[in-house]
């Protein structure tokens, strides 16, 4: 069961409950995840009872418990997020480590979803040829699993055997495009439950032909892995794939850091939260920079943010994490977010922004 960022970020209603926790991929560690979730649900219940009528609290807690009962922890990844209010009760698994917490606000906490979208060290490799495809999940240079049913998929009918048709380049291209289109739909079914980026291993022609029919081009690396045998052992494939993914990830991070440094030197950088909040409302912010696992509660008004301590997080009207709200608001204006390791923004209290001009 999954819910998309696009659907979540526009929801504004009372008692949007987000429960966020680290989980484990393997047994016996994943047996502890159920207890962690139960404790976080108890935390949510205590906060709801303190703020709302007993009847409303019971209804929302029951929705949390009903959702909890549907989760099979044997399929956990690095983290799990539950989203519950009067209209929604859904969860998603993510391949990134998080900070265990409960957030109850007028919107759902989505920053970890956004961070996962930029987390490229957990990925799929699509072994792509015109005759056969395989899909392998990897983490860094390790094979997590090779995706089964319906993979591997062989092209058993979308090709021509007649001499006249094989000499017809247009006809051949159409058949290959249809095969790649079918593959893409199966890849996206897998990504629905585990939304990781995809590195294509193929020749240059097939890579570009696949992009022409792909429904979610943004999920595919803008580079490809030179073709090796589609029947090569999975660990050898991932050894080669990691060289490309690691370089791509480092290059992406360094590029954004260079962008940040240039902005600081040119006067296009903001570090004061109120100045950033005002600029977001005016559509002036291009990119927000946030340190991972850096959270800040506060009161938020249209033209003013007042920071409070963590001890005041549960007071009425306090937003659990102002950065999450600012990230979502900036997304609505077409801005993006870069998450940096702890300490990268220590001079700016872990948070900053680049303006468009």
What pLDDT score was predicted for residue 116?
75
Longest Cα–Cα distance of the chain, Å, equals 77
- What average pLDDT does this structure show over 339-352? 90
- What average pLDDT does this structure show over 234-243? 96
pLDDT one-digit tens code per residue, 181-209: 999 999 999 998 788 899 999 999 999 99
Mean pLDDT taken over the chain: 89
Query: Of the given ranges (65-69, 312-316, 351-355), which has the lowest mean pLDDT?
Result: 312-316
What pLDDT score was predicted for residue 232?
95
Is pLDDT at 53 greater than 70 in this prediction? no
What pLDDT score was predicted for residue 132?
95
- What average pLDDT does this structure show over 206-232? 94
Question: Which CATH code fits 122-252?
Answer: 3.30.420.60
Is pLDDT at 85 greater than 90 in this prediction? yes
What pLDDT score was predicted for residue 2?
44
What pLDDT score was predicted for residue 121?
76
pLDDT one-digit tens code per residue, 175-184: 899 999 999 9
Using a cut of 0.75, tell me whether the model's pTM lies above it: no
Distance CA 281, CA 8 (A): 20
- What average pLDDT does this structure show over 237-263? 91
Is pLDDT at 97 greater than 50 in this prediction? yes
Distance CA 333, CA 329 (A): 7
Angle, helices 33-51/54-69, rounded to nearest 10 degrees: 160
Best mean pLDDT range from 2-6, 183-187, 247-251 = 183-187
Distance CA 194, CA 93 (A): 7
- What average pLDDT does this structure show over 346-351? 92
What pLDDT score was predicted for residue 191?
92
Residues 6+ apart with CB under 8 A from 84: 16, 17, 19, 60, 63, 64, 67, 90
Is pLDDT at 114 greater than 60 in this prediction? yes
pLDDT one-digit tens code per residue, 5-15: 767 877 888 78
pLDDT one-digit tens code per residue, 141-187: 889 899 999 999 999 876 554 554 545 567 678 889 999 999 999 99
Is pLDDT at 69 greater than 70 in this prediction? yes
Domains 5-117 and 122-252 share a fold: no
Q: What are phi and psi of 330, to 5 degrees?
A: -70, -35
Taking domain 5-117, whether its CATH number is 3.30.960.10 is answered by yes
What pLDDT score was predicted for residue 163?
52
What pLDDT score was predicted for residue 313?
84
- What average pLDDT does this structure show over 91-111? 90
Give percent of the chain with pLDDT exceeding 70.
93
Taking domain 267-355, whether its CATH number is 3.40.50.620 is answered by no
pLDDT band, residue 341 (cuts 50/70/90): confident
What pLDDT score was predicted for residue 1?
35
Distance CA 98, CA 94 (A): 9
Q: What are the residue ranges spanned by the domains of the chain?
A: 5-117, 122-252, 267-355
The 3-state DSSP composition of the chain as helix, strand, coil percent (nearest 5) reads: 45, 25, 35
What pLDDT score was predicted for residue 109?
92
- What average pLDDT does this structure show over 205-223? 95
């Amino acid at each position: 069961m999954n819910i998309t960022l696009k659907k979540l970020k526009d929801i504004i209603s009372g008692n949007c409950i987000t429960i966020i926790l680290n989980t484990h991929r393997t047994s016996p560690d994943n047996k502890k995840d159920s207890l962690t979730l139960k404790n976080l649900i108890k935390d949510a219940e205590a906060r709801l009872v303190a703020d709302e009528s007993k009847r409303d609290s019971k209804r929302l807690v029951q929705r949390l418990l009903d959702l909890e009962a549907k989760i099979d922890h044997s399929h956990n990844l690095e983290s799990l997020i539950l989203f519950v209010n009067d209209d929604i009760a859904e969860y998603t698994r993510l391949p990134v480590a998080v900070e265990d917490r409960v957030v109850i606000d007028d919107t759902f906490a989505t920053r970890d979803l956004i961070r996962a979208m930029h987390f490229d060290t957990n990925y799929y490799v699509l072994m792509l040829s015109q005759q056969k495809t395989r899909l392998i999940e990897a983490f860094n240079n390790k094979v997590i699993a090779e995706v089964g049913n319906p993979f591997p998929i062989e092209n058993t009918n979308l090709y021509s055997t007649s001499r006249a048709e094989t000499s017809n380049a247009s006809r051949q291209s159409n058949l290959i495009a249809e095969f790649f289109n079918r593959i893409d739909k199966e890849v996206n079914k897998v990504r629905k439950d585990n939304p990781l980026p995809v590195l294509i291993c193929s020749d240059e022609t097939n890579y570009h032909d696949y992009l022409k029919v792909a429904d979610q081009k943004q999920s595919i690396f803008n580079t490809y892995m030179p073709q090796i045998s589609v029947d090569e052992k999975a660990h050898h494939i991932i050894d080669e794939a990691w060289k490309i993914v690691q370089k791509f990830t480092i290059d992406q991070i360094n590029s954004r850091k260079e962008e940040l440094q240039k902005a600081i030197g040119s006067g296009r950088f903001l570090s004061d939260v109120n100045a950033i909040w005002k600029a977001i409302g005016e559509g002036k912010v291009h990119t927000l920079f946030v340190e991972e696992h850096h959270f800040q509660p506060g009161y938020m008004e249209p033209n003013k943010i007042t920071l409070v301590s963590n001890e005041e997080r549960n007071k009425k009207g306090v937003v659990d994490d102002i950065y999450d709200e600012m990230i979502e608001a900036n997304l609505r204006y077409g801005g993006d977010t870069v998450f940096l390791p702890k300490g990268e923004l220590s001079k700016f209290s872990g948070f900053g922004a680049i303006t468009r001009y």
